[in-house]
Amino acid sequence: MVDVTLLTPAIRTPRWKSFYESAKKACKKYEFEIMFISPFKLPEELQGLPEVKLIQDYGCPSRATEIGVEAATGTFLYNCVDDGVFYENCIDDALDFFNSKCMDTDIINMRYRESTHATRDEFPLSYWEARPNGLSFPGVREGWKIALHFLMKKNLYQDLGGIDCAFEYVNHSIHDLVFRAQAKGSVVHMSPTEGLNCTHYEGTTGDHAPIHNAQLGHDEPLFRQLYEDIYASVRHPVTFTPWHECDAVWSRRFGDELPLTYEDL
């Protein structure tokens, strides 16, 4: 077992080398593994590296996440995206903080930068508050925080029942996961330093259209429907959609003719 699994549903193979190289600088004191869940093969330069693992799957990001968790050997899970690079020492700093300040059921929100903020200032701490930032539904309590790039113990993730794969993408599904944790008493702490510096396509530009359309056309309405109920965060995992009931091919992204490389998309 390693200390932390960098859980990474992924398609952007040209970025994986820099992702890996920055992870080595971000996590020097602890043992890590990168778990790519992707339809595409590892780039040649990453093949054979003991820290880099790949599970090939064409499913939606929520399905990919659950598949990755099952295979993860880390004590901790750090949910990542593959279009960023890590700030040096950020994982070491976060694990040091967790081990000295947190309970086993707590979560660290690994703060990140993206879009115009990637080259400017970090997001203000108020950005990570749920209700003031578009999530003011009856089922979301005052003071709850978001943690899309969560760092939590794998045991906690499993105890919560994982993510509900009724959601296609891992935005609303992780909001739901983290709200369910907070409903049970977990505290969400802000990471002592920022984690990933990410790119970000706006709207349907670049390769972002399937994610944009899934979030706005499917996941957001589903989340809104669920969290109009004040008891949404305490529903039983038996009601969740498991990953193996998701389509094996995410049609929004891959269509009928399966691409073999990122460049084929």
pLDDT digits (tens, 9 = 90+) for 175-215: 999 999 999 999 999 999 999 999 888 899 999 999 999 99
- Domains detected in the chain: 2-256 (3.90.550.10)
DSSP 63-75: HHHHHHHHH--EE
| 141 band by pLDDT with thresholds 50, 70 and 90 | very high
Q: What pLDDT, on a 0 to 100 scale, did the predictor assign at position 69?
A: 98
Q: What pLDDT, on a 0 to 100 scale, did the predictor assign at position 116?
A: 61
**Which SS3 state, helix, strand or coil, does residue 57 take?**
coil
What span, in angstroms and rounded, lies between the C-alpha atoms of 63 and 247? 9
**Which SS3 state, helix, strand or coil, does residue 134 take?**
coil
Determine contact, residues 69/77, Cβ cutoff 8 Å. Answer: yes
Residue in the block written with tokens 């993408």: 169
Q: Please report which helix (H) or strand (E) contains residue 222, including its range.
A: helix 220-227
This prediction has a pTM of 0.97
DSSP one-letter code for 48: T
